[in-house]
């Protein structure tokens, strides 16, 4: 039979073992809670960053949409200017032809002046 002193010593060791195990589980629990809290904080930060990026890209979408409208307006204006450009080119061509006719007339008038001067025997003034 076990003596009461041995039973007390065994009970004390069991209490000490139970206390050590309880402390171990408490510390492991605290460590796991800390890890989970750290992960939770990281996920919260990631969520906030995602919201910020979403807002930024939304703004980019608005800018791109505005630019698309602006480009469409510029294309419409450019098409309207194409008509004027065609008219300007036609006028330029007509002016070139007119200048050629004026040059021919100027040469013809100069030739006629020489004939008139020679017919009246007028000395050329130059």
Q: Note down pLDDT in tens along the chain; length 126 residues.
A: 557 666 776 666 778 888 999 999 999 999 999 999 999 999 999 999 999 998 888 888 888 888 999 999 999 988 888 888 999 999 999 999 999 999 999 999 999 999 898 888 765 555
The C-alpha atoms of residue 113 and residue 28 are separated, in whole angstroms, by: 121
The C-alpha atoms of residue 108 and residue 111 are separated, in whole angstroms, by: 5
Give kind and range of the element (H or E) at residue 12.
Answer: helix 4-119
Tell me what pLDDT residue 46 has: 96
Tell me what pLDDT residue 15 has: 85
For the chain, the straight-line distance linking the first and the last C-alpha, in angstroms and rounded, comes to 158
The verdict on pTM exceeding 0.85 is no
Tell me what pLDDT residue 94 has: 96
Tell me what pLDDT residue 4 has: 67
Sign of CA dihedral 31, 33, 36, 38: negative
Q: Which residues contact 7 (CB under 8 A, 6 or more apart)?
A: none
């Amino acid at each position: 039979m076990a003596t009461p002193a041995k039973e007390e010593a065994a009970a004390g060791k069991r209490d000490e073992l139970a206390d050590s195990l309880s402390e171990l589980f408490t510390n492991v629990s605290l460590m796991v809670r800390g890890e989970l809290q750290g992960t939770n904080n990281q996920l919260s930060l990631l969520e906030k960053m995602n919201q910020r990026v979403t807002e930024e890209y939304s703004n980019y979408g608005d800018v791109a949409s505005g630019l698309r409208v602006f480009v469409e307006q510029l294309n419409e204006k450019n098409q309207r200017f194409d008509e004027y450009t065609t008219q300007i080119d036609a006028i330029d061509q007509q002016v070139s032809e007119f200048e050629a006719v004026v040059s021919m007339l100027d040469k013809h008038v100069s030739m006629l002046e020489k004939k008139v001067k020679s017919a009246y025997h007028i000395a050329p003034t130059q």
